[in-house]
Amino acid sequence: VTDAVRVVLGWVVPGLYNAYMWFVFRTSRVAYENTDLLWLLRERYGGLVGIMWHQDVFTVAWCFRQYEGHTLASPGELGDLITAMLERNGFVVFRGGSTRSRRRRRQVLPDMIAHMQSVAGVAYGITCDGSKGPAYRVKAGSILIAHACSKPMIVARTWCKRRIHLRGWDRSYIPLPFNHIIQVFAGPYFVPPEADDPDVLERFRAMIEGELLELTYYAHGRVGGSRAEWARSFPGGWQSSWGGALPSP
């Protein structure tokens, strides 16, 4: 793709995306649950780190535009388009991820930590299973940011009843108009001060992964989907402990 084409796509695609998502939400029944949690934690702690699955990547720019978010996008041409969509909706975007060298991955994490430490009220939203997966497995990067900056974490899920699934490891989806959509948050979760210990870090990682799986299970049921069907794609041995209800913050 030539530079000229990239420029044109960078202008056209975000506009088409916003127009489509406006129509989807305008024609759909949309439920928001626990979403004031983000504002409360940002005010109380001066920032937070939110995590979601990469499966939600298509919806993030529109669904989180009101939260003045900061996030991470992969390098490459697809990452350029995603970045343009995010920036059109008010995000601050860092570029990095698993599609380039380890050196680049090592650099973007300190940059994000330094940004959160120097700018008040930063709310990071990170697709925590990365840009290559495996799906439904939380990677440690978001936790390391929260730990280094002493910020709370939340888990987030956007889901809908009617959707088109795209090919790929994450089963990302495009919501359809005339839908039933839910956006729901849960938390807060506080990284233990002892998380410099790899065993402590792993225990917390496994715990918050379980909480995001619980939220996923909950959201699927709220829009009338089959919870059992999706639970089969979760990591082996997973069982719900929320009892179908959303815990109070």
Q: Which residue has the tokens 């970045």?
A: 83
**What pLDDT does 89 receive?**
93
The overall average pLDDT reported for the chain is 88
Specify the pLDDT at position 12: 85
State if pTM tops 0.85.
Answer: yes
Please spell the DSSP secondary structure of 141-183, one letter per residue.
HHHHHHHHHT--EEEEEEEESSEEEPSSTT--EEEPSS-EEEE
> pLDDT for 116-168, tens place per residue?
999 999 999 999 998 888 999 999 999 999 999 999 999 999 999 999 999 88
The whole-angstrom separation of Cα 157 and Cα 140 is 19
- φ, ψ at 140 (rounded to 5°): -80, -15
Residue type, 154: I
pLDDT in tens, 88-130: 999 998 977 544 434 445 678 999 999 999 999 999 999 999 8
Eight-class DSSP state of 240:
-
